[in-house]
């Protein structure tokens, strides 16, 4: 059974020009890229997207980072897309990834636990929520009203 997940190249990934390299790895790993879009997120977008982290100490910094430049969003599809993409990106902390998962995408282009270059949905529920957040029928601005 095919599955969809949301992949995002974060501002540091775009700034470092990693988009083409990451897309190449994605396609070579058997994913289909169903949708893609480059977008500049604003504070309202990030606050909704990362609502579950709103009480964390790093939340304010996360908003600053995630709005510091455009992000590149993709809907990926293949069997086990969610867990396979999470495995490919590696651990949250890119410094650790460089040691424990040297072939992971975060090891390749991430810097630390915040600037970790890429995102992947962590569950089927998150995948549905995140894909409709960005690619749903509601335009992105309209989605502020319907978290
Ligand atoms: P991600 O797992 O895609 O989604 C939550 C994000 O919050 C995470 O990537 C990082 O960018 C950020 N984050 C998670 N943990 C920390 C931390 N300890 N310090 C700073 N940022 C973090």
Q: Degrees (nearest 5) of the Cα angle 113, 64, 21?
A: 55
ipTM value: 0.95
pLDDT bin (cut points 50, 70, 90) of residue 24 is very high
Q: Report the pLDDT averaged over residues 37-49.
A: 93
Task: Indicate which residue's Cα is closest to atom 11 of ligand 1.
Answer: 114
CA-based Rg of the chain, rounded to a whole angstrom? Answer: 14
Protein residues with CB under 6 Å of any ligand 1 atom? 50, 53, 58, 62, 92, 113-114, 116, 119
**The tokens 């289909």 sit on which residue?**
32
Pick from 16, 28, 35, 34: which is nearest to 106 by CA? 16
pLDDT number for residue 146: 35
Cα 36 to Cα 8, 39, 67, 135, distances in angstroms: 9, 10, 19, 9
Q: Report the pLDDT averaged over residues 68-93.
A: 97
pLDDT number for residue 142: 46
- Provide the β-strand partners of residue 8: 73, 119
């Amino acid at each position: 059974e095919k599955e969809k997940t949301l992949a995002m190249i974060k501002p540091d990934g775009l700034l470092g020009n990693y988009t083409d390299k990451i897309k190449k790895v994605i396609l070579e790993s058997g994913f289909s890229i169903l949708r893609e879009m480059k977008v500049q997120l604003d504070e309202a977008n990030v606050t909704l997207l990362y609502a579950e982290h709103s009480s964390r100490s790093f939340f304010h910094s996360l908003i600053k980072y995630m709005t510091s430049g455009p992000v590149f969003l993709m809907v990926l599809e293949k069997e086990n897309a969610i867990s396979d993409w999470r495995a490919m990106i590696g651990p949250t902390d890119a410094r650790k990834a460089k040691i424990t998962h040297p072939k992971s995408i975060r090891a390749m282009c991430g810097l630390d636990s915040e600037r970790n270059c890429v995102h992947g949905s962590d569950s089927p529920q998150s995948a549905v929520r995140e894909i409709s957040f960005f690619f749903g029928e509601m335009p992105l601005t309209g989605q502020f009203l319907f978290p």
